[in-house]
Amino acid sequence: MSATRREREPRRIRPGDLAALARAHLERYVASTGRLRAVLERRVRRATAHHGDDPAPLLAEIDGVIAGLDGTGLLDDVALAGGLAGSLRRRGDARPVARQKMLARGLPPALVDAALAGADAAVDADGQRGDADLAAAAAYARRRHLGPFRAAGRAERRDRDLAAMARAGHRFDVARRVIDCDDPEALRPA
């Protein structure tokens, strides 16, 4: 007999409860302003629908709660965007893929673009554009054991490796440069 999972009844939210809910969420998760707003709105809508309350006063309170958390250090979109951009690029995400992941986290587009530019500038040597793209593609290939990081059967798998790089969002010229490279050490940023 399979047990069905019983969903918990949402707790009634009163005016003034949102600040505590927001702090509890931020103590447990790293969230952007947009993500926190979405979480609070979802909780308010679910609780008010269940209890038959009017959601309007609570929804109006959300902006004030977020504004109050802005100066506390719990909610810092700039730091989140910078750390996330660097992390995603170091792990091998292509720039468009990293941008999409950051936008999905609720970060504003202008902040995402600035953070990615900052992360790429830290890798680009002598202002030479493309080093960051090559470093990200090499990191992806290293993580997935593609091209020069493959143990055996490299020539037979070349097209598959290029296709994997393309699916990951890497430009063809960069992917080809990584896959066709003979020395993996040559792909490391200077």
Residue ranges covered by each domain of the chain: 17-70, 77-125, 131-187
Q: Look at 189 and 157; give whichever has higher pLDDT.
A: 157
Confidence of residue 152 (pLDDT cuts 50, 70, 90): confident
Residue 1 has pLDDT above 50, yes or no: no
DSSP-derived secondary structure for the chain: -PPPPPPPPPPP--TTHHHHHHHHHHHHS---HHHHHHHHHHHHHHHHHHHT---HHHHHHHHHHHHHHHTTSS--HHHHHHHHHHHHHHHT--HHHHHHHHHHTT--HHHHHHHHHHHHHHHSGGG-TTHHHHHHHHHHHHHHT-GGG-SS-TTTTHHHHHHHHHHTT--HHHHHHHHT-S-GGGGS--
Q: What is the pLDDT of residue 140?
A: 96
Q: What's the pLDDT tens digit per position in 12-58?
A: 998 889 999 999 999 999 999 999 999 999 999 999 999 999 999 99
pTM recorded for the entire structure? 0.82
Average pLDDT of 76-105? 94
Q: What is the pLDDT of residue 125?
A: 58
